[in-house]
Each structure stands twice: as structure tokens, then as C-alpha cells.
Amino acid sequence: MLKSKGFTIIEILTTITIMAIVASIAAPEFWRLKNRDDFRAEGQGLFDSILDARNSALTNRFCSNGNTSVRWMVLLDSNRTPPVYDVRCYWDDTNSNTKEQADAELTKSEIELIDFNEGNTPDPMYGTVAAPYPDNIRFSFFSGGVNGRLEYSDGGIVKANSVKMVLGHNTTDYVHTICFNRVSGFPTFNKTGDECQDY
């Protein structure tokens, strides 16, 4: 008489129990890594938008409406919750612009520190009501050139030579830092710390 091949109910239940235990151990680590990767993707996205604006200015790209560009700008609205940024193309140097990239939100990131002009007292974004902080920051690049313009709003438009912006994760101690010097016109991105690279 042939014995039937297969698993017993006890073997199946044991396997399911082991799989459930492994999944319950692995799930928190998976979500932690996903959360970290989402946070890093936000910082990388903002940095890439600044680079794209610079590259568009260097190559004299046209605005999406067909007008010749004179300036490309990334506008970061840090006064909104969560912070939002977009890319704009100007065909004159006043207010004539088109939005070239839809609003992107920094949902996993908090702007922990903004230091203008490297040496001024940093403006903490959280934890104090005494220090003013900007409503928005503008990274601008002029078509055909390498220099940029850095401005922020603080009761009016203020020009700055450099900025160091530390983005912190909203539930862990992860940070990364975007830095920009308007003279060199080249932004840098530190993915793992709060210091500028080649600042």
C-alpha cells in the first residue's frame, strides 16, 4: 500500500508560525528603512531641482511657454506645513514666470537650521520664537552664466551670499544638508551629516 505524500497539519501550522514570527521581527526594520529612504529621497529631490534649474540656465533653455528664459529659480516655501518647493522659469527678471515643476512637499523632513552667509547667527526653524526665520528661500540662476542669486524673505527680500540648510527627519535623528554659494553657483548635498561640503 502506497503512503500519500504531503504535509501534516502540524507541519503546516509550524511553518506558518515561524513565518509569522520572522515577519513580525522584520516588519519594523523594513518600515524604518523605508522611512529613511523616503526622507533621503525628499532631500535628493530638492537638491536635484536646484541642479536642474542651474543646468537649465546654463543651457539657455526656453520656458515651457516658448519664451526665452532669463532666469531659473527654485522657490522653497518654508512657512507652509509641510514645506513646499517648485521650479520656475522667468522670461524677464521681474514677475513674468511659468511654473516648470509642480509643488513638491517635504512631508518627512523638518528644516532644522538655516544659516545665511556662513558666520551670521544661524536662524533656528524650531525651538525659539526670538529668531526670525524666512517665509521662503529663492535659489536663482541666470541664463548663460554660472553665478546665482540667493534671496530670502524676512520682512522683505534679503539677498545673501550663501546658505546652509539642515533637513532633519521628523521621527529619527537622520539629517542631511544642502549648501549653496551664489558666487560659485554650485550647490552641494551632504546626505549623512549637518556640515557643508566645499562650502
- The range of the structural domain enclosing residue 186 comes to 11-190
What value does the mean pLDDT take over residues 85-113? 88
3 within some domain: no
Q: What is the mean pLDDT of the chain?
A: 82
The answer as to whether 24 is a domain residue is: yes
Distances in Å between the Cα of 12 and the Cα atoms of 9, 18, 19, 22 are 5, 10, 11, 16
What CATH number is given to the structural domain containing 119?
3.55.40.10
Would 65 be classed as within a structural domain?
Answer: yes
Q: Would you state the pLDDT for residue 130?
A: 39
pLDDT of 115 above 90: no
pLDDT tens for each residue of 3-27: 666 778 888 888 888 888 887 777 7
Residue 4 falls inside a structural domain = no
pLDDT at 96 exceeding the cut of 90: no
Sign of CA dihedral 181, 165, 101, 40: positive
Residue 30 lies in a domain: yes
Which string of b and e fits 81-115 if b means at least 16 CB within 10 Å? ebbbbbbbbbbeeeeebeebeeebebebbbbbbbb
With respect to residue 5, please indicate whether it lies within any of the assigned structural domains.
no
Mean pLDDT, residues 121-145 taken together: 64
Residue reference for cell 509642480: 102
What percent of the chain is modeled with pLDDT above 90? 27
pLDDT of residue 109: 86
pLDDT per residue over 56-89, tens digit each?
999 878 999 999 999 999 999 887 888 899 999 9
Mean pLDDT for 155-176 is 85
Is 6 domain-assigned?
A: no
Q: Could you give the number of structural domains in the chain?
A: 1
Residue 198 lies in a domain: no
